[in-house]
């Protein structure tokens, strides 16, 4: 497990020194939300209805950028080859990278969510505190699937185009569960009304974290 | 290696499959009774359901072969996995085509976000990604490994997709799932015959595709020598 902490620490330290991924994700998601606001006429009441969906679509897109950035770094000076040739369990490498990316996503959301609530006019202050586990679980889910898929893309000649094409269909059930529970939590509904979505989100995250841990060995080989 | 259809056993199997398929066609149009309210439209079920069954079987082959390939690393499993994926996706496409043909007169619209239809569409998209990984994944052996991983991710996703879309739109639940079992014995027998006929087609197609994969691999090995090709 020490390899896990090493990789996690390395990812976070890198991000702290460059601040690339989070900056790109925040700026990009702001730009997308602005486009959505203009495309759907932000003044109308109907945008409130779509807000959770728009929100997560935006985070999906910015996650793709963040993943590309995070794995793009590994290409430089063959960093990735050194990483996977170290004598540690590749499952630990996967978990370290995935959870580090989930944290970066969460950080992006901490910065951008208050702005979105301002622009799209949805209440953040009155939302149920359940919103925090929902977002964290969703970030873990995106990061788990994203890390496997980005790992595939890393060594492929057209990897950067493969990433969204592979990622989005795999994430559909998770998108449904997340938008449903987000909109319920924003309206401060009791958790019992959307516990089925929370369970799905939890199952999804656990399944793909486990699958990624076992499978990462096969995609990191030369 | 020899051509698939120059092997005697395969010729006989193909002949049997064609004969059974023709009988099946004849039975569907001439023997199967009309169902009230649906008339001719109902007959598509003798195709649609076996197509879904075939896609399910073919993807199971892909899943099992993908696991075996990752565990053992033997190339022959990769060819089974590819054969299952290609044939399964073909059948998934046919499901997506025959579903709306039936839905247009019965539901009054061609597409609804019915859970199984939606799941099939998403699975179809995931396997489009699978073929892209095969194409763009780099050297043959690595692309095969990546493809096996994508297949496993996709198939692990299926139950989650299915439950998600089921709960997502509970009002869209008009998929006629149990109707087949409530029909007369004759319809059930004809349906089972059709199922058997389509399964024969599936077996032949997967074995054919697998054989073609072996030929491709042999060709690659001849061209690039031993190893990854």
Q: In this predicted model, what pLDDT tens digit does every residue of A102-120 receive, in sequence order?
A: 999 999 999 999 988 888 8
Are A207 and B126 a contacting pair at CB < 8 A? no
Give the nearest chain A residue to B156 (CA atoms): A207
At B124, which helix (H) or strand (E)? helix B115-136
C-alpha separations of A67 from A24, A105, A138, B137 in Å: 11, 10, 15, 18
pLDDT at B85: 96
Chain B residues with CB under 8 Å of A179 CB are none
pLDDT at B180: 58
Are A158 and B128 a contacting pair at CB < 8 A? no
Are B163 and A173 a contacting pair at CB < 8 A? yes
pLDDT at B179: 58
Q: In this predicted model, what pLDDT tens digit does every residue of B138-167 receive, in sequence order?
A: 888 889 999 999 999 999 998 888 888 888
d(CA A147, CA A68): 10
For residue A22, the distance in angstroms to the closest alpha carbon of chain B comes to: 27
Residue B94, helix vs strand vs coil? helix
pLDDT at A148: 93
Q: Which of residues 159-198 of A touch B (CB under 8 A)?
A: 159, 161-162, 165-166, 169-170, 172-174, 176-177, 180, 196-197
pLDDT at B130: 94
Could you write out the DSSP letters of every residue in chain A? -HHHHHHHHHHHHHHHHH-HHHHHHHHHHHHHHHHHHHHTTTTSTHHHHHHHHHHHHHHHHHHHHHHHHHHHHHHGGGHHHHHHHSSS-HHHHHHHHHHHHHHHHHHHHHHHHHHHHHHTT--STTS-TTHHHHHHHHHHHHHHHHHHHHHHHHTSTTHHHHHHHHHHHHHHHHHHHHHHHHHHHHTT--GGGSHHHHHHHHHHHHHHHHHHHHHHHHHH--
Size of interface A-B (CB pairs under 8 A): 90
For residue A63, the distance in angstroms to the closest alpha carbon of chain B comes to: 18
Chain A residues with CB under 8 Å of B142 CB are 155, 221-222
pLDDT at A95: 94
Q: In this predicted model, what pLDDT tens digit does every residue of B173-206 receive, in sequence order?
A: 566 654 555 667 888 888 899 999 999 999 999 9
Q: In this predicted model, what pLDDT tens digit does every residue of A43-62 receive, in sequence order?
A: 777 777 788 888 999 999 99
Are A176 and B146 a contacting pair at CB < 8 A? no
C-alpha separations of B180 from A9, B71, B120, B184, B187 in Å: 58, 40, 20, 9, 8
For residue A17, the distance in angstroms to the closest alpha carbon of chain B comes to: 32
> The whole model's pTM is what?
0.89
**pLDDT mean by block of 10 residues, chain B; 229 residues:** 84 92 90 71 84 94 95 91 96 92 82 84 94 87 92 91 81 58 78 93 94 89 67
Q: In this predicted model, what pLDDT tens digit does every residue of A69-104 receive, in sequence order?
A: 888 888 877 788 888 888 888 899 999 999 999 999
pLDDT at B229: 41
Inform me whether the C-beta atom of residue A214 falls under 8 Å from chain B C-beta atoms.
no
CA atoms within 13 A on the CB side of A209: 19
pLDDT at B182: 66
Mean pLDDT of A119-141: 89
pLDDT at B173: 56
Are A166 and B136 a contacting pair at CB < 8 A? no
Helix crossing, A195-220 with B140-168: angle to 10°?
180
Give the nearest chain A residue to B70 (CA atoms): A218
For residue A206, the distance in angstroms to the closest alpha carbon of chain B comes to: 12
């Amino acid at each position: 497990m020490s390899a896990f902490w090493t990789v996690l620490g390395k990812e976070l330290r890198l991000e702290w020194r460059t601040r690339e991924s989070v900056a790109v994700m925040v700026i990009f998601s702001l730009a997308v939300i602005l486009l959505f606001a203009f495309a759907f006429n932000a003044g109308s009441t109907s945008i409130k209805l779509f807000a959770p969906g728009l929100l997560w679509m935006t985070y999906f897109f910015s996650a793709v950028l963040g993943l590309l950035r995070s794995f793009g770094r590994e290409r430089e000076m063959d960093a990735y080859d050194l990483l996977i040739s170290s004598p540690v369990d590749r499952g630990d490498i996967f978990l370290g990278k995935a959870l580090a990316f989930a944290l970066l996503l969460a950080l992006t959301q901490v910065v951008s969510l208050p702005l979105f609530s301002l622009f799209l006019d949805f209440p953040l202050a009155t939302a149920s505190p359940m919103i925090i586990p929902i977002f964290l679980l969703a970030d873990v889910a995106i990061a788990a699937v994203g890390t496997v898929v980005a790992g595939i893309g890393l060594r492929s000649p057209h990897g950067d185009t493969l990433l969204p094409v592979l990622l989005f269909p795999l994430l559909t059930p998770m998108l449904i569960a997340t938008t449903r529970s987000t909109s319920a939590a924003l309206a401060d509904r009791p958790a019992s009304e959307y516990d089925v979505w929370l369970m799905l989100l939890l199952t999804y995250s656990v399944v793909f974290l486990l699958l990624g841990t076992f499978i990462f060995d096969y995609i990191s080989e030369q | 290696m020899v051509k698939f259809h120059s092997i005697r056993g395969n010729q006989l199997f193909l002949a049997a499959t064609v004969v059974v398929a023709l009988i099946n066609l004849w039975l569907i149009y001439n023997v199967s009774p009309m169902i009230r309210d649906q008339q001719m439209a109902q007959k598509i079920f003798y195709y649609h359901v076996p197509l879904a069954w075939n896609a399910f079987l073919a993807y199971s082959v892909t899943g099992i072969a993908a696991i075996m390939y990752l565990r053992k690393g033997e190339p022959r499993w990769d060819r089974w996995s590819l054969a299952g994926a290609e044939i399964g996706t073909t059948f998934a496409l046919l499901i997506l085509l025959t579903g709306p043909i039936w839905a247009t007169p019965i539901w009054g619209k061609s597409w609804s976000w019915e859970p199984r239809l939606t799941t099939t569409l998403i699975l179809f998209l995931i396997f489009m990604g699978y073929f892209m990984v095969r194409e763009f994944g780099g050297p043959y052996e690595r692309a095969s490994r990546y493809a096996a991983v994508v297949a496993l991710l996709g198939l692990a996703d299926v139950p989650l997709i299915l439950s998600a879309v089921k709960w997502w739109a509970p009002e869209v639940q008009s998929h006629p799932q149990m109707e087949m079992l409530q029909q007369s014995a004759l319809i059930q027998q004809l349906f089972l015959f059709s199922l058997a006929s389509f399964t024969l087609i599936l077996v032949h197609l997967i074995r054919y595709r697998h054989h073609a994969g072996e030929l491709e691999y042999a060709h690659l090995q001849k061209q690039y020598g031993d190893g990854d090709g």
